[in-house]
Amino acid sequence: MNKYELVTFVAESTGLGRVDSGRALDAALEAIQVALRAGDDVRLVGFGTFHVTHRKALSGRNPRTGDPMLLGASNQPKFTPGKLLKAAVN
C-alpha cells in the first residue's frame, strides 16, 4: 500500500474527502517527525512505538577499494510493533 492508497482508504473509512484525509495523514506524519526530532517517543497503544536510537561510529571498508573508513555516528528512527498489531498480522 502506498500513500495514495492509504489516503483513499482513510477517506472511504471516515467519510472525509481525499484532500482532508491527505492533510490529516500529512499532519500525523509531521507530528511523529517533530516528536522524534525532539527526542520523544510516540506511543500508539495497540499499534506500536516510534523511537530514536543512537548508532555509534564504527569502522568499515570502502567496497570499491577495500580501504578502511570511518562511518559516523547517527540517530536512527525505529518502530516496535504493539501487541494488537502483532496479533493482527499473525
Residues 27-62: tens digit of each pLDDT:
999 999 999 999 999 999 999 999 999 999 999 999
Chain centroid to CA 54: how far?
Answer: 15
Domain 41-90 CATH assignment equals 2.40.30.10: no
Q: Is the pTM of this model over 0.85?
A: no
Which residue, chain included where needed, has cell 482508504? Answer: 9
